[in-house]
Amino acid sequence: MGIRLNNRNAMSTPPDLVVFDLDNTLYPYDVAHRRALETVSKKAEDVFNIKPEDFTSLYESASKVVKQRLGRSVASSHSRLLYFYRLAEVMGVGSHPRIALDLEQTYWAAFLSKSRLFDGVVDLLEEFRVANIMCACVTDLTAQIQFRKLLYWRLDHYFRVVVTSEEAGEDKPAKAMFDLVIEKCPVSPEVVWMIGDNEERDIRGAKDAIDAVTFLRVDRLSKFSRRETAADVVFDDFRSLREACAGMLNQASSQSLRS
């Protein structure tokens, strides 16, 4: 567990703004998604007599159809409501809107109850709050569920700005996403950090759009080659990132107390 600086000046200046991705950066997405789908699959078996293996292929083809129709990467291309609506249409039973809403609610309730934040996330956000460093969240998907996630984990008050791709009109790495974050900041930030898990969307996106200093979260740093990323910093543990920030954050805290 640790942190690796690919650019040794990356953390030499305190940031004015730290932008976080949400899914799979602040919590492990895959586990929650898998458990949520299992819960919905069980319901589909109980209510509609659909075998789990059939459910999996129905869900996969429904999500594929929704994405293909939209033709580009926008918030609704991830909409579970649209996936389950398509699935209900294919099943051809009952009220499609009613089934879609029911399965969507079941999915997200299970998703939230099976997910938990990575260790050290709240402590790091708290450090930034104490140091008076503004934080933002920039995330692909519809606003309602992303806001709900932030409230569920009680993270909403840490983020001065939240931008979803529903609001910006396009998913990351679209420049519009990052520009909207900066536009919403009360004061234009000079040094921006971007913390995310996706090389193309978060790291290259934020570098190209707003020239951010970039931090890539990976599962296992020891298995991660430096050549795989353009990120300035790579880490696999928020506690290591917090420790690496400690000196700089103390300096920023005392400056903010003096000013």
Shortest Å distance, C-beta 134 to Mg ion: 21
The stretch near Mg ion (CB under 5 A) out of 14-22, 81-89, 107-115, 153-161 is 14-22
Residue 157 · residue 39 · CB < 8 Å: no
Of 193-212, binders to Mg ion (CB under 5 A) are 197
If the CB atoms of residues 127 and 197 are measured against Mg ion, the closer one turns out to be: 197
Shortest Å distance, C-beta 172 to Mg ion: 9
If the CB atoms of residues 45 and 120 are measured against Mg ion, the closer one turns out to be: 120
Closest residue to Mg ion: CB criterion: 24
If the CB atoms of residues 58 and 218 are measured against Mg ion, the closer one turns out to be: 218
How far apart CA 56 and CA 245 sit, in angstroms, is 43
What residues contact 231, with CB distance under 8 A and at least 6 apart?
A: 6, 199, 203, 214, 215, 216
Shortest Å distance, C-beta 62 to Mg ion: 22
Shortest Å distance, C-beta 60 to Mg ion: 20
Size of site (CB under 5 A) for Mg ion: 4
Residues with a known catalytic role = 21, 23
DSSP string of 88-147?
HHHHT-S-HHHHHHHHHHHHHHHHHHH--PPTTHHHHHHHHHHTT-EEEEEESS-HHHHH
Q: Is 214 in the site for Mg ion (CB under 5 A)?
A: no
If the CB atoms of residues 171 and 197 are measured against Mg ion, the closer one turns out to be: 197
Among 17, 18, 19, 23, binds Mg ion (CB under 5 A): 23
Structure tokens at 232: 């300035």
Q: Is 21 in the site for Mg ion (CB under 5 A)?
A: yes
Shortest Å distance, C-beta 184 to Mg ion: 20
How far apart CA 162 and CA 139 sit, in angstroms, is 8
If the CB atoms of residues 24 and 106 are measured against Mg ion, the closer one turns out to be: 24
Among 4, 24, 33, 217, binds Mg ion (CB under 5 A): 24
The stretch near Mg ion (CB under 5 A) out of 20-28, 43-51, 162-170, 179-187 is 20-28
How far apart CA 107 and CA 111 sit, in angstroms, is 6
Q: Is 140 in the site for Mg ion (CB under 5 A)?
A: no
- Residues forming contacts to Mg ion in the complex (CB under 5 A) are 21, 23-24, 197
